[in-house]
Structure 1
Amino acid sequence: MDSNTIMTWLTAERLSLADFLDELEPHEWAADSLCPGWTVHDVAAHLTLSTRTTLLGTITGMIRARGDWDRMTSTAARQRAARYRPAEFIEQVRATAGSDHRAPGAGPLDPLVDALVHGQDIARPLGRTREMPTQQAAAALDHVRVSLFYGARRRFEGMRLVATDLDWSAGEGPDEIRGPVGDLLLLATGRAAGLAGLSGRGAERIAATL
């Protein structure tokens, strides 16, 4: 995947996300997101961290979290959420929309995955619709599906994924999962909410484990 294309997609998605956050009502910022234990405010805080995280900060955070990545990420998001108001986060997302700075260890497509998926983490619990661009979601899904970080390799073992809103499929096995590519991406990143738009024996298998 061409790096310029990825950055163009990422910049557009971040700016769109900032516009989306700008539409939220004050009470919605305190609502629960799809991320367990995170409010919408916490997710917005997390979205501003990838362009600001340093290697030293990551090492320090991991030490304090005793090697637990999820604990470190949650702590960092909540601490940042406590420091800034919603309007400040919106401006921060806009200000760094075109930044190619990534968190240590992240690949070129990881920030795009972050923006696409966390946009749904915010929108869906609020009952709001946020369209996910299919080409970008397919590229993100191709990355997530083979990455060791997201756990999708094991989750989709023995399964074939088929998108119903564009010409995309991947994987082999007797169990099939069909549905919009955005829902497949949510499921690939461990979001049970993605199951709502999916069908097939593979979806039934995964539903029993999430």
Structure 2
Amino acid sequence: MWDVIVAERLALADLLDSLSPEEWGRPSLCRSWTVHDVAAHMTMQQLGLAGLVGVAMRWRGSMARTTREAARRRAADRAPAQIVAEIRETAPRHRHTVGVSRLETLTDLLVHTQDIAVPLGRRHDMPPKAAAVAATRMLTMRWPPPLPSARAAAGFRLTATDTDWTWGSGLGVQGPMSALLLTCCGRDVARSELSGPGAPDLIARLSR
């Protein structure tokens, strides 16, 4: 898994290195986050206890708001070239932020790379087997609390069309592994790639 994480960190650095100044300021798939914000957030994958305490001391009422504000502060303090250099320099380290596992590190990396690439019209193929590991974690995790989009998948049988992965029971929903992971992580951009008898019901549930 660490080999995949390192490779995806370096691929993200290459992607960011190719962006124009105008693209850094564009909206990402994360609501209210720019590409610059998301890229800055990706420099926070290896926070130690002191760094985590520093983020927590600026609590904004929820983990989502606190994380967003921390990313915005980093983006304000770091030029694009600095962010790229930091991601590339720290990529080989087998470290993750205190309080989470390497599974969250992998998921964060796979999904946030798409948050940057998709709205810019850039293509970055998500490795299906790694996405399957991340999706399983998202759908079975108890801590941190699962996302509402992951809870919405309960009662459906999800099946990947490009790797050997199935989860759950109920009406069937099929799609590429990347589309299933993005959907479970609350991104609606990949819902058009879903098919099967359960797809309309799952999409309707997610929309609510």
Tell me whether the two structures share a fold, i.e. TM-score over 0.5.
Answer: yes
1:60 Cα deviation from its structure 2 partner = 4.6
**Cα drift, residue 55 of structure 1:** 2.7
Q: In 1, are the aligned partners of 2:150 and 2:185 still within 8 Å (CA)?
A: no
Aligned to 2:194: 198
Number of matched pairs: 203
| Unpaired runs of at least 5, structure 1 | 1-5
Pairing partner for 2:112 from 118, 135, 152: 118
- Are positions 1:164 and 2:165 aligned together? no
Please state whether the residue corresponding to 1:160 is helix, strand or coil: strand
CA separation of 1:185 and 1:89: change in aligned 2, threshold 3 A: same
**Unmatched segments (≥5 aa) in structure 2:** none
What residue in structure 1 maps to residue 12 of structure 2? 17
In the TM superposition, residue 50 of structure 1 has moved relative to its aligned partner by 1.5
> Residues of 2 paired with 1:25 and 1:153: CA distance?
34
Matched, 1:79 2:76: no
Match of 1:26 in 2: 21
Task: Confirm or deny: 8 A CA contact 1:62 1:68 kept in the other structure.
Answer: no
Q: 1:165-208 deviations in whole A, cap 9, x for unaligned?
A: 122211111x2211000010001111111212112343322322
Match for residue 130 of structure 1?
Answer: 124
Write the letter of the residue equivalent to 1:165. Answer: D
- Partner secondary structure for residue 64 of structure 1: coil
1:155 partner amino acid:
A
CA–CA separation in structure 2 for the residues paired with 1:205 and 1:190: 15
- Aligned mates of 1:171, 1:32 — CA distance in 2: 34
How far residue 59 of structure 1 moved from its aligned partner, in angstroms, is: 3.8
Instruction: Give the Cα separation in 1 of the matches to 2:77 and 2:154.
Output: 42
- The whole-number CA distance in structure 2 between the counterparts of 1:135 and 1:92 is 27
Q: Does 1:36 align with 2:51?
A: no
CA shift for structure 1 position 113? 0.8
Tell me, yes or no, if the aligned pair for 1:11 and 1:98 is still in contact at 8 Å.
yes
Counterpart of 2:49, as a letter, is L
- Secondary structure of the equivalent of 2:178? helix
Q: Which stretch of the first structure deviates more once superposed, 190-199 or 86-95?
A: 190-199
SS in 2 for 1:184: helix
Give aligned-pair identity as a percent.
Answer: 43
Counterpart CA distance in 2 for 1:15 and 1:76 is 23
**Is the Cα–Cα contact under 8 Å of residues 150 and 188 in structure 1 kept in the other structure?**
no
Match for 2:78: what amino acid? Y
Q: Secondary structure at the match of 2:108?
A: helix
